[in-house]
Chains A and B, each alone.
Chain A
Amino acid sequence: MTATTAPPGREVGARGARALVDLVFRARELSLVAALAVLVAVTAGINGNFLSGQGVEDILLNTAILALLAVGQSVVVITRNIDLSVGSVVGLVAFVTGDVLARGAGLVPAVLLGVAIGAACGLVNGLLVSFCRVPALVVTLGTLYVIQGLDHYIAHGRQINAVDLPPALLALGNGAVLGVPYLPLITLAVMLAVGAYLRAYPSGREFYAIGSSPEAARLAGVPVRRRVLAAYLVSGGLAGLAGVLWLARFGTVVGDSANGWELLVVSAVVVGGVAITGGVGSVYGAALGALLLTTIGSALVVLRVNPFWQQAITGALLLLAISVDRVLAVRVARLLRKGGRR
C-alpha cells in the first residue's frame, strides 16, 4: 500500500484512499466467504452429509496444510517475490522427520528439526534473492529441483510407514480437541499471528511497502534485503511445519510428497486476493483462498462431478481473480491520484 510513503501534507487524502483500499480488499475477503457459503449451501442441499460433523472436519483437515503454506507464501508474494520451492520443502521435511521419528526421536525435537530444515531452505532462497539479486522465480525454481533431488537422494526409494511413527504424531494428524482437529487449530494460530504482525507492526507494514515499490521503500529507509530475507525464512519455516503436519496426516510418506503443490499454493494465494505483483492482500484472504479451493475439490467429489472439472474450475477462478485484481488496481490508482490532488 503506497500510503506508507505518502508525504505528510496529503495525509487526509491518503488516509481516505487507504480506507478505500482496505474496503475494496475486505470486499474481496467477503466475496470469498460468500462464494464459499453458496458452494457449501448448494452441496449440502444436494447431499446432507457434506455438512455433517465428519464432513466439516474433513474439509478443515484437508485445508489445514494448504492454508498454512498459503500463509507463508503470501508473506513472500506481498514483497513482490515468489517461493516455488515450498512443495519440495514439504516433501523433504516430511521424509526426514519421518525418518528420524522412525529411528526413535522425540516428537518435539522432530518438529523443531522440521521447521529448522524448512527455515534453512528459506534462508538459501532469501539470501540468493535479496543479497545476490537473482530473480525470485529463477532462484526458487532452482531450489525446487535441488531440494526435490535431495529428497529423492535421502529417500532412495524407501518409504515411511504409519507403523514406524510414534502414536503421538499420528494422533496429531487426526485427533481433535473439543471436536476441532489439531491441524486447523495450528494453522489458525499461525495465520492470526502472521496476520497481526503484518497488519499492526511497523516492520510488518514494510513488507507491503517493499511490494508496492521496492525502490521507494529503499529510499524511505526500509531495510529491503532484511525484510525479503525474513519473508523467505517465514515461508520456509512454515513449509517445514507443513511437512511435519503432512507426515502426521498421511502417515505413509515416500520421496515425492507434495510434488507440484507449489502451484496449488500460489493459486490459493492469488485467489485469496494477494496480488502477484506485490503490496496487496492479507494472509486471511490467502487462507480463505486455500479453503475455497479445497472445498471445491471436496464438493465436486461429493456431487459426483467428473474430476476434470476440478482443475478447470481452479483455473477459471485464478483467471477471474487476476482479472478482478487488475480492474481494482486501475480503479484504486485513479482514486489515489484524485485523493492526492484534493
Chain B
Amino acid sequence: MTPMRLTAAATLLSLAVAACGGTTKSSVTSAPAPAPASSSAAAKADPNAPLKEGMKLAFLPKQINNPYETIVDNAGIEAAKEFKGEAKEVGPSDASASSQISYINTLTQQGHDAILIAANDANAVCGPLQQARAKGTKVVSYDSDAAPECRDLFINQASSEEVGRSQVRLLADLIGKKGEIAILSATANATNQNTWIKYMKDELTKPDYKDMKLVKVAYGDDDDQKSFTETQGLLQAYPNLKGIISPTTVGVSAAARYISGSKYKGKITLTGLGTPNQMRQFVKDGTVEKFALWNPKDLGYLASYAAAALVSGQITGAQGETFKAGKLGERTIGANGEVILGPPFTFDAANIDQFDF
C-alpha cells in the first residue's frame, strides 16, 4: 500500500510540476505528504491530462443489497476497466449513515484514489469524507448527494426539477389533466423524494393543471407491506382518485402489484419511477401504461469517468470545466459541482422490451 501511495504522490507531484511549471526542486523534496501535493494539483485543472492507469476507485452505495445501486455500481466498475482502473463495491447491508462512515474510514486508510458514495445522510458522512479528501482521496457522490462542501462532484441522475415536473406532465397526459391525484413516496425525510415532490407541487400550480388536485402525499417507507397498505388507504380514503405518482422503485412496483389484483385495475392511473424489469409484468397486464427512470447504468458509467477525470487532474470540480465520459461524450460541470446525467426516460409497452435492468 505504501509504495502505491508513494507512486501516486509522485505522479501527482509531477503533474503539479507540469501544471504550475514554476515549482522548484526544493519544494518537491520538502513536500511531506500526498495531501498538499494533491491540493496544489487540484488548484488547476489540466483538461488535456491523460487518464491515469491503475487508479483505485471504490463505490460505496447506500446499501449493498439494493438492486438499483447494484446496477449503478456494476456499470461503474465496468467503466473503470475501459480506462484500466481498478474499481470495487463495498458497503453496509443496512441503509444507514453510521455504517457508511466506517466504510469511508477504511477506504481512506486503504489509500483509494477516489470514493464514490451514495450518501445515506448528507451531513452525517461529511466529517469522514473531509478526512478522506485531506489525504488526497477524491470524493464523488452519486444518486444521493452529500453536503456540497464535503465532496468534489455530485453526479445527479437527472435534475431534481426536471424529475419532479416531468412526473406531473406524465400523469397529466395519462389522465387528461383532470381529477384528484396522490403521491406515494418513500420515507418522509428522504432528501431526493422531498425535492421532487416540491417541484411536483410547483408544477401543479401552473394554470394548465388547474383541474388537477393533489389530495395527499403518502409514505410507504420503501417497504412492500407498508406501500401496499398506503395504496389501499389512498384508494379507500379518496374514492375519486384518478392517478398516483410513486417516484420510488419499491413504491411503484408495490402499488402496481396491489392494483393489478384489485378492483381498481383500469380505474386508477399509476405512474412513477421504476426499473423496466420490475415493471414489465404490470405494463404487460395493463396496470401501468407509462413510467420513467434514467438509465442507472449510464449513471454508474458517468460517475466512474468523473472520478477518473478528477484523479487525473483533468477537472477540479469547478463550474464550467468539461471532461470526456467515454461513450457518453463530453460533460460539463454545473453549479454546486453537479454533473447532470440527462432527462428521465419514459418507458411504455412499445419500448420496455429493449431494456434489461
Contacts and interface: CB of A to CB of B under 8 A. Distances in A.
B186 to A, nearest CB: 13
Given A162-B278, A163-B281, A298-B232, A157 B257 contact: no
B118 to A, nearest CB: 13
Contact of B232 (A58, A250, A307): A58
A159 B278 contact: yes
B40 interface: no
A54 interface: yes
A304 B224 contact: no
Interface string A32-69: 00000000000000010110111101100010000000
Contacts, number: 101
Nearest to A299: B233
Given A157-B65, A252-B253, 7 more contacts: A159-B67, A161-B280, A161-B281, A162-B253, A252-B278, A254-B67, A307-B219
A173 B156 CA distance: 37
Nearest to A157: B70
B224 A257 contact: yes
B257 A252 contact: yes
A174 B261 CA distance: 5
Given A54-B262, A163-B284, A304 B216 contact: yes
B233 A301 contact: yes
Contacts of B232: 55, 58, 62, 298, 301
A162 B93 contact: no
Contacts of A158: 67, 70
In terms of DSSP, what is the predominant structure of the interface of chain A? helix
B254 interface: yes
B237 A301 contact: yes
A156 interface: yes
A163 B237 CA distance: 30
A167 to B, nearest CB: 9
A156 B73 CA distance: 12
B229 A298 contact: yes
A198 interface: no
A131 B264 CA distance: 52
A302 B224 contact: no
Nearest to B260: A174
13 contacts: A50-B236, A57-B262, A62-B229, A149-B93, A152-B65, A158-B67, A159-B67, A163-B280, A173-B261, A252-B278, A256-B93, A298-B232, A301-B229
B256 to A, nearest CB: 8
B236 A157 contact: no
B138 to A, nearest CB: 25
B254 A252 contact: yes
A159 B263 contact: no
Question: Considering the complex of A and B, which 7 residue pairs feature the smallest CB-CB distances, nearest first?
Answer: A174-B261, A301-B233, A157-B70, A159-B67, A162-B281, A163-B281, A255-B65
Nearest to A294: B229
Contact of B224 (A52, A156, A252): A252
Nearest to B352: A163
Contacts of A254: 65-67
Most buried by B among A156, A161, A298, A302: A161
Interface string B224-264: 11001110111111010000000000100110010011111
Contacts of B278: 159, 161-162, 252
Contacts of B284: 163
Given A162-B278, A252-B254, A302-B233, A157 B64 contact: yes
A297 interface: yes
Contacts of A161: 277-278, 280-281
A104 B180 CA distance: 42
A55 B224 contact: no
A152 B219 CA distance: 25
B87 to A, nearest CB: 15
A3 interface: no
Interface in B295-317: none
A61 to B, nearest CB: 8
A162 B282 contact: yes
Contacts of B67: 157-159, 254
Interface in B61-118: 64-67, 69-70, 93
B21 to A, nearest CB: 47
A155 B70 CA distance: 11
A337 B234 CA distance: 54
A132 B20 CA distance: 70
A251 interface: yes
Contacts of B234: 301
Given A155-B65, A302-B233, A62 B225 contact: yes
Contacts of A307: 219
Most buried by A among B69, B216, B232: B232
A336 B255 CA distance: 53
Contact of A163 (B228, B236, B262, B277): B277
Nearest to A149: B93
B148 to A, nearest CB: 28
A163 B274 CA distance: 14
B233 A298 contact: yes
A47 B257 CA distance: 24
B224 A250 contact: yes
Contacts of B277: 159, 161, 163
A170 B281 CA distance: 11
A297 to B, nearest CB: 6
Contacts of A152: 64-65, 93
A49 B261 CA distance: 17
A301 B219 CA distance: 10
Contacts of B262: 54, 57-58, 174
Nearest to B215: A304
B65 A297 contact: no
Nearest to B264: A54
